[in-house]
Amino acid sequence: MTRLNVNGTSHDIDVADDTPLLWAIREWIGLTGTKYGCGVAQCGACTVHIDGQPVRSCLYPAVAAVGKKVVTIEGLAPKGKMHPVQKAWVEGDVPQCGYCQSGMIMAVAALLKTKPKPTDADIDSAITNICRCGTYQQIRAAVHAAAGNA
Amino acid sequence: MTNIVSRITSPERRSFLVSTSAAAGGLALGMVLPFGNEAQAAERANYSSDTTLLGKTPGNEVTAWVFIKPDDTVVIRIARSEMGQGTMTGLAQLVAEELDCDWAKVTTEFPTPGQNLARNRPWKDFFTAGSRGIRASNEFVRQGGATARMMLVQAAAEKWKVPVAECSAASSVITHGPSGRKISYGKVAAAAAKIEPPKEVKLKDSKDWKIAGKPLKRLDTAPKTNGTLTYSIDVKLPGMLCAAIRDCPVFGGTVKSFDAAKAEKMRGVKKVVQVGKSAVAVVADHWWEAKVACDAVTIDWDLGPNANVSSASIAAILKEGLDASTNTYVGNENGDAKAAIAKGVKKVEAVYAFPYQHHATMEPMNATALWTADRCEVWTATQDGEVALAATSESSGHPLPKCDVHKLPLGGGFGRRTTHDFVIQAVGIAKQMPGVPVKLIWSREEDMTHGRYHPTTQCKMTGSFDENNNLTGLHMRISGQSIIAFVAPHNLVNGKDPFTFQGLNAAGAEGVFGYTVPNLLIDHAMRNPHIPPHFWRGVNNNQNSLYLESFMDELALSVNQDPLEFRRKLLKDHPKHLAVLNAVAERAGWGKPAPEGVFRGLSQHMGYGSYVAACAEVSVSKEGALKIHRIVAATDCGYAVNPAQIERQIAGSFAYGLSAMLFGECTVKDGAIEQKNFDTYRVMRINEMPKVEAIVMPSGGFWGGVGEPTIFVAAPAVLNAIAAATGKRIRQLPIKDQDLRKA
């Protein structure tokens, strides 16, 4: 059994050593807000926080997360509340198809922790997630809005 | 040719036939099987596949489009798919506008294609491509809203025993003018539902719109920010298993045999099955287990007749077509272009090329299927629920009334999800696991190597001038792949694919060639390699606009004319084309100095009923590094249902179109696609995204699309700006490996 702490809850799951955290979260724990996009840490749709750091969970073995605190999009804000980034996303009407946005929001939330007032250059270097609908312009505006609110 | 024949006889091909008929306006589904009889309807009503609220929650269906709950919640039915383009919100705005309801109380739901058939298609077609979501259904959805409003008002009038003419509706409340009595929609919906719908329904003038035409926020944003929206890939059913699949790497190849001995013993594995003639799938408790085991299956492939095809061999076939006289078709012609060019004082010629490109939706293809001896149900992300239903029926062996498809929000579509190869596979697997729901997910590698690709073409452009530098002749010879020849050969017209000439037509509402040239010839040498082509956001407009708009700059520069002035002269007979071009030129400051080191490029095109233009500002460093600083883009789509969402479609179109221009190329080696993931098939990220300024300028009187048109002008505007910056003309996409240093 592998014991994972996800969003503050402990889960004992039976996964093989090579199981990526992404699939442990989605299929064993049942939280599907974290998305599969590429499986090779290119697109960032699977971004979660591990001990506060943004991590692409599709290449991160679930067993490596034992003893760490994993936070997914579902646990970013306390139940019924919205994280400033989520608020900015709703107010800025950011998502189109929305599939990449869980990962985007997790990446941005992590960025704002280290750089509360990121510049455009900070955003460019930190947010390397892929959005195929092309919401980048709205994302940039919403990051700045969230930084102002945070 | 055997390859083509085998494709024609595949189930997928037959579902394509349905798709294309639907696209052409005449739905073939009705001819496939009878539907709508009462016994079947009753059976359907008892079945769990009903996804609308009808009969499940208190409330009343006033018209097929409008369900009203006692608390005044208005549930608007949306037949088209939502894949990020905002159609769901736009269509709801149109219904709500005519319904005169309270927008704050609007929600939506998707009826299933099975319900549509069982009820004799009250929601008409589900086809969501070609930027048609709103423009092809605006009239009947507005009528659905207006009809409901009239029935609600009449119900109130009957309740009060007053003339209907004395009653009016606004924001979900009906008011009796003389007495001032008021009643909300929720209170009269039950009575309204029993009223015979009026035969004559008058729709509002767009100048009176209060909900439509406004930059309202999307209805589906919140669940996209907290992980709660269920996409197709997130579907969970009791007892569900998961499947991973490997299809033959070469299109047209088959499975000779496979050895699953190792895979069958692996963790979580339930079954290893062949799927159709060309694929093997592993079914397991979890997808990850299925994928690991699927990789462990040893498959002996018969790679078929295309195993030696390469990008180079395909390019050679296309090159032959540039000057060929066989298998060629004329799309637009006036005067005698060849004679004019022969007589020209000056002649300009250039050859361009456009590669295969992948849709690369963020959500890989997937579908969940449940097959039993008498029914089959599918949960999936589709751009055409009815075609998905036809594919389900064909592959399950069950008649249409015994099947249904549950539509989930799409994690991107871009045309890829108008075809349902993944649904056919999912049903093929589920059929071998009766009674067990099976979710098939393609790995990204499977997705990228088994796509339906933007067709590849080359183009020879030739133009001629007289001694006064007037353009006397233009010949545009496109050589390459026809989408229609692959997906719907019955729609070829004496061998010709009219769809090849998107945006180059002499007339019509779809896409008109804007330039008036005294001698014009646009023709197509059809050359069809084995890689399956498909509709890819913007479709044939993409290369047509790239070839034409790049060459217009080449022509202008060859006679030392300003590209804007050169176009203006030739667009004089097409004021709407000209208007969007003028709009971007003016906003961008064409003719005025750009910031130092920054150069501008223009383009314009018409397609999917809309007029679009762009002005790009770029710089190229000494080392050849390109920076796209700013884009000004204009769209005249006739009516703008939600300007804020149109702006997002315009900006997004640059991300998609410029990704293709910068990086998008699928190469072929040994008959297979070489690129397997985003590391080798790069797409634009936020640091590469230019600032986009959108000008939405609806001129009224027609309905044009907005999901695709801007793509047409994205690449040519940037390429023209690069040429202005460097003196180098890029004639082949993508530009990633090309030297952009100053010529």
The total domain count for chain B is: 3
pLDDT tens figures, B615-647: 999 999 999 999 999 999 999 999 999 999 999
3-class DSSP state of B160: helix
- For residue A26, which residues of chain B lie inside 8 Å, CB to CB? 234
Which of helix, strand or coil describes residue B462? strand
| B37 domain residue, yes or no | no
Per-residue DSSP letter, B515: -
The mean predicted confidence, pLDDT, of chain B is 93
Radius of gyration of chain A (CA): 15
Q: Does A2 touch chain B (CB under 8 A)?
A: no
- In this prediction, residues A100-125 reach a mean pLDDT of 98
Are residues B689 and A136, on separate chains, in Cβ contact within 8 Å? Answer: yes
Which residues of chain B make contact with A140, given a CB cutoff of 8 A?
A: 686, 689
Question: Mean pLDDT over residues B465-472, rounded?
Answer: 98
- Within this chain, do residues B339 and B271 fall inside the same structural domain, yes or no? no
Out of A16, A72, A125, whose CB is closest to B267? A16
What pLDDT sits at residue A26?
98
Whether residues B653 and A36 touch (CB distance < 8 A) is answered with no
Contacts with B, A 72-111, CB within 8 Å = 72-74, 76-77, 82, 86, 89-90, 93-102, 105
Q: What are phi and psi of B239, to 5 degrees?
A: 75, 10
pLDDT value, residue B3: 30
**Distance between CA atoms of B140 and B439, rounded to whole angstroms?**
35
Asked if A129 lies within 8 A of B267 by C-beta distance, the reply is no
Quick one: B283 and B417 in the same domain? yes
Q: Do B159 and B54 belong to one domain?
A: yes
Q: Is residue B240 part of a domain?
A: yes
What does the angle CA B363 – CA B367 – CA B373 come to, to the nearest 5 degrees? 175
Which of A34, A99, A123, A124 should be substituted to probe chain B, the one whose Cβ sees the most B Cβ atoms within 10 Å? A99
Average confidence (pLDDT) over B125-139: 94
A27:B653 CB<8 A: no
Query: Residue B15 domain-assigned?
Result: no
> Would you say residue B661 lies in a domain?
yes
What's the mean pLDDT in A2-6? 98
B339 in the same domain as B213: no
Does the structure show a pLDDT above 70 at B365?
yes
Q: What's the sign of the alpha-carbon dihedral B726, B729, B732, B733? A: positive
Q: What is the dihedral of CA B231, B393, B388, B274, to 10 degrees?
A: 70
Average pLDDT over residues B656-663: 98
Note whether residue B447 is domain-resident.
no
Mean pLDDT value of segment A67-89:
97
> Which CATH number fits the domain that encloses residue B251?
3.30.365.10
The residue of chain A nearest to residue B217, with distances taken between CA atoms, is: A93
pLDDT given at position B689: 98
B243/B220 same-domain check: no
pLDDT at B385: 97
Contact criterion met (CB < 8 Å) for A39 and B677: yes
Percent of chain B scored above 70 by pLDDT? Answer: 93
Chain B CB contacts of A146 under 8 Å are none
B486 and B623 together in one domain: yes
Domain membership of residue B290 (yes or no) is: yes
Please tell me if residue A69 touches chain B, with a CB cutoff of 8 Å: no
Q: Answer yes or no: do B406 and B460 share one domain.
A: no
Contact B225 A123 (CB under 8 A): no
Other Cβ atoms within 10 Å of A9 Cβ, number? 10
* In-domain check, residue B4: no
> Is it the case that residue B2 has pLDDT exceeding 80?
no
Last residue of a domain, one of B173, B194, B224: B224
The pLDDT > 90 percentage for chain B reads: 92
Ramachandran sector of residue B341 (left: φ over 0; alpha: ψ -120 to 50; beta: rest): alpha
**How many contacts (CB atoms, under 8 Å) link A and B?**
179
* Same domain for B599 and B464: yes
Query: How much is the pLDDT for B43?
Result: 35
Confirm or reject contact between A6 and chain B (CB < 8 A). no
Whether residue B236 and residue A135 make contact (CB cut-off 8 A), yes or no, is no
Domains and CATH numbers, chain A: 2-75 (3.10.20.30), 84-149 (1.10.150.120)
How confident is residue B743, by pLDDT bands cut at 50, 70 and 90?
confident
Q: Are residues B335 and B198 in the same domain?
A: no
For residue B28, give the nearest of B502, B307, B386 by alpha carbon. Answer: B386
Least confident of B15-29, B198-212, B347-361, B525-539: B15-29
CB contact under 8 A, B678 and A38: yes
Measured in angstroms, the CA of B439 and the nearest CA of chain A are apart by: 12
Say whether both B94 and B124 belong to one domain: yes
The alpha helices in B509-595, defined as continuous H runs, are: 540-558, 563-570, 575-588
- Hey, are the CB atoms on B288 and A89 less than 8 Å from each other? no
Question: Are B483 and B497 contacting, i.e. CB atoms less than 8 angstroms apart?
Answer: yes
User: What strands, in cross-sheet order, belong to the sheet with B610-620?
Assistant: B599-607, B610-620, B626-636, B691-696
By the CB < 8 Å criterion, does A120 face chain B?
no
Query: Is the CB of residue B604 less than 8 Å from the CB of residue B713?
Result: yes
- Across the range B588-594, mean pLDDT stands at 97
pLDDT at B50: 52
pLDDT band per the 50, 70, 90 thresholds, residue B52: confident
pLDDT the model gives residue B8: 29
CB contact under 8 A, B411 and A98: yes
Domain boundary pick from B413, B441, B469? B441
Nearest-Cα distance to chain A for B456, in Å, is 21
Mean pLDDT, residues B200-208: 97
Does residue B545 lie within any of the structural domains?
A: yes
- CB pair distance less than 8 Å for B412 and A133: yes
Q: Do A90 and B652 touch (CB under 8 A)?
A: no
What's the pLDDT score for residue B41?
35
Chain A residues close to B448, C-beta within 8 Å: none
User: Is residue B103 predicted with pLDDT exceeding 50?
Assistant: yes
Domain membership of residue B599 as a residue range = 311-357+453-726
Examine the domain organization and report whether B298 and B253 are in the same domain.
Answer: yes
Q: Are residues B254 and B197 in the same domain?
A: no
Of B199, B224, B249, the domain-final residue: B224
For residue B13, is pLDDT > 50? no
Whether the per-residue pLDDT at B426 is higher than 70: the answer is yes
Q: Dump pLDDT digits (tens) for B670-726.
A: 999 999 999 999 999 999 999 999 999 999 999 999 999 999 999 999 999 999 999
Q: For chain A, how are helix, strand and coil distributed in percent, rounded to 5?
A: 40, 15, 45
Nearest to B231 among A99, A125, A134 (CB): A99
Distance from CA of B574 to the nearest CA of A (A): 31
Residue position matching structure tokens 């906003």: B587
Segment B144-170 shows an average pLDDT of 98
- Read off the pLDDT of residues B286-308 as tens digits, 9 standing for 90 and up: 999 999 999 999 999 999 999 99
CB B576 within 8 A of CB B613: no
Please tell me which residue, B62 or B28, carries the higher pLDDT value. Answer: B62
